[in-house]
Amino acid sequence: MSFSQLTHLECGRCGAEHDSEQPQNLCKACGSPLLARYDLAAVRDSVSPGDFALRSPDLWRYHELLPVRSPQAVTTLGEGLTPLLPMARYGERIGLPRLLMKDEGLIPTGSFKARGAAVGVSRAAELGIERLAMPTNGNAGAAWALYGARAGLATTIVMPVDAPEITRRECVASGADLHLVDGLISDAGRIVGELIAASGGRVFDTSTLKEPYRIEGKKTMGIEIVEQLGWRMPDVILYPTGGGVGLIGIHKALNELRELGWISGPLPRLVAVQAEGCAPIVRAFEAGEQESRFWEGSRTVAFGINVPKPLGDFLILKALAETSGTAVTVTDGELLDELRQVAALEGTWVCPEGAAAFAAARKLRASGWIGADEQVVVLNTGAGLKYPATVPVDAPVLPVDGHLV
C-alpha cells in the first residue's frame, strides 16, 4: 500500500502534464500553477472514510491524498485537525444560528500557513531541495522558515516592512535569511524572482502557487470540515482571500472527495472575502471576468489578504462560479468592529482576516444571500494573538493601594 497515491502534476490552465518526481514550479507550456493529481481509484481501494478517525490527529491522516511519498520525509509540528466550533451566541446575533468556525488559530506558527508549509517543506526535502526563497506578507514566510528549520532546509524570506512584526521575529528565531522591503508583496516577489534567476537552480522558488504542494497542505481544511461534519458538506464556506490558495485547495479537496464517492450532492457555495482596499477578485467577479487586474495602491489592516494580483485568480474565480459562490468586500472599520464582537460574544480572538469573513457572513445574511437555516463555516485563518494592535487597551492603572469600591 502506497503512503501517497500521487501520480503526476497537471497545469491548472492548459492541462499539460508534468513529472511530479522532480522539483517543479509553473507550467512549462503556459506559466500557470500546477496541480497535484492522484490515483483516486487506488485511494478508494486502500482506505475508507471511517479509517481516518483511527489515525494520527493531524493532517497527515490523509496521506494517500498528499504528495509526500515516504513517511520518513514528513516534517510535522502537529498541524491540522483544528476545532470546528459552534458560534451559537454570535451566530444568533447575526441571524445564523448554525454558524461554525474552523479555527486555524490553534495551529503551529499561529496561522493556517502551517498546513502549506508542512506539506511543501516535506515534499521539497524529499525531492532533494536544500535552499528555498519566497516573498510573503508575513505568515507564510514565518511558517516556511520554522518548518524549514525543522527539516534542515535553508530559507530566504522577503517581506514588506510593515508586515506583522511577530512574523518577522518568527523568521529570525528560525535562523532564516530575512529581508524587508519598503513596498508590497508584489515588490518582494520581484526581488525573490531575481535571486532565483541568478541562483542557477540552487535556490527553489516557493512563492504562492509557484510550487504545487502548498495547496495540497491547505486543501486538508476542506477534508477536515467534511470529516468533522460526519462526511457531510456545509451549505456555505467563507474564506478571507489573498492568494486564494486555501479557497482553491478546499475546492480541489471537495472535488476529490466527491470523485472518491465519499460525499455527494452540490458543493458548498464558496465565498471569497476581500478588504475594500484590496479587492481584485471581487472586482473581476462582479465584472464577470475570468482573471483579475492588478489592484493599484492596495491597503488594509488584514495583511494576509493584501495581494494585488493573485497568480491563481482564474482558479479562484472558477471555484466561485462552479459552486454558485460569490465575492464580497468589507472595510477595515467593519472587520475591526466584527473582531471585537466575535471575541466578546464567543471568547474567540480571531485574526483580522478571519474577522473580515465574519463581517461578510453578517452582510450576506442581511442581504438574504445566505438563508437563516443554512449551515455556514467561517475560516478563521490565524490567531488573534499574532495581532495585538487590533485591540488597543485603555484600562485605568490603579495605585498600589487602589480599590474598585
Ligand X SMILES: *Cc1c(COP(=O)(O)O)cnc(C)c1O
Instruction: Write out the residues near ligand X by the rule CB under 6 A.
Output: 111, 113, 139-140, 208, 240-246, 304-305, 351, 353, 381-382
- Give the residue with the Cβ less far from ligand X, 4 or 241: 241
Tell me the three-class secondary structure of 171-202, residue by residue. Answer: HHHCCCEEEEECCCHHHHHHHHHHHHHHCCCC
To which residue does cell 438563508 refer? 371
Is 85 a binding residue for Zn ion by CB under 5 A? The answer is no
Nearer to ligand X, 246 or 280 (CB): 246
Among 2, 30, 232, 299, binds Zn ion (CB under 5 A): 30
* Residue 120 binding result from Zn ion, ligand X, none, given CB thresholds of 5 to 8 Å by partner type: none
- Selection from Zn ion, ligand X, none that 139 binds (CB < 5 to 8 A by kind) is ligand X
Nearer to ligand X among residue 203 and residue 302 (C-beta): 302
SS3 label, residue 359 = helix
DSSP 375: -
| CB 240, min distance to Zn ion, A | 28
11 binds, among ligand X, Zn ion, none (CB under 5 to 8 A by kind): Zn ion
Q: Residue 193's Cα: distance from chain center in Å?
A: 22
CA dist 96 to 217, 348, 354, 366, Å?
29, 17, 17, 10
**Nearest approach, Cβ of 385 to Zn ion (angstroms)?**
40
Site residues for Zn ion, 139-198, by CB under 5 A, read: none
Q: Which does 160 bind (CB under 5 to 8 A by kind): Zn ion, ligand X, none?
A: none
Strands of the sheet containing 17-18, edge to edge, are 17-18, 6-11, 34-38
> Considering the rule CB under 5 A, would residue 16 count as an interface residue with Zn ion?
yes
Specify the residue, 47 or 250, whose C-beta has the smaller distance to ligand X: 250
- Virtual torsion, Cα 221, 227, 229, 232, nearest 10 deg: 100
SS3 of residue 282 by DSSP:
helix
- In this complex, which beta carbon is closest to ligand X, that of residue 9 or of residue 378? 378
Query: Alpha-carbon distance 103 to 398, whole Å?
Result: 36
Angle between helices 332-346 and 352-366 (to 10 degrees): 90
Cβ–Cβ contacts within 10 Å for residue 133, how many? 23
Nearest distance from residue 14's CB to Zn ion, in Å? 3
Write the DSSP string, 195-221.
HHHHTTTSSEE--TTTSSSHHHHHHHH
CA distance linking residue 137 with residue 149, whole number of Å: 19
Instruction: Name the DSSP letter for residue 383.
Output: B
Q: To the nearest whole angstrom, how small is the minimum distance from the Cβ of residue 382 to ligand X? A: 4
Q: What's the min distance (Å) between Cβ of 256 and Zn ion? A: 20
Check residue 226 for interaction with Zn ion (CB under 5 A): no
84 secondary structure, DSSP code: E
Q: Binding-site residue total for Zn ion (CB under 5 A)?
A: 8
The listed partner (ligand X, Zn ion, none) that binds 329, CB under 5 to 8 Å by sort, is none
User: Is the Cβ of residue 31 or residue 371 nearer to Zn ion in the bound state?
Assistant: 31
* Least gap, CB of 29 to Zn ion (angstroms): 4
**Nearer to ligand X by C-beta: 5 or 32?**
32
Give the nearer residue to ligand X in terms of CB position, either 126 or 170: 170
d(CA 247, CA 249): 5
Looking at the DSSP assignment, which residues form a beta bridge with residue 132? 155, 204
CA distance 198 to 221: 36
Among 27, 81, 114, 133, binds Zn ion (CB under 5 A): 27
Binder of residue 242, out of Zn ion, ligand X, none (CB less than 5 to 8 A by kind): ligand X
Find the part of the chain contacting Zn ion (CB under 5 A) among 10-18, 283-291, 325-333, 357-365: 10-18
Contacted by 351, from ligand X, Zn ion, none: CB < 5 to 8 Å by type: ligand X
Closest distance to ligand X from the beta carbon of 234 (Å): 19
Shortest distance, position 27 Cβ to Zn ion, whole Å: 3
Q: Would residue 199 be called left, alpha or beta, if left means φ above 0 and alpha means ψ between -120 and 50 degrees?
A: alpha
Q: How far is the CB of 195 from ligand X (least distance, A)?
A: 21
Give the footprint of Zn ion on this chain (CB under 5 A): 11, 13-14, 16, 27, 29-30, 32
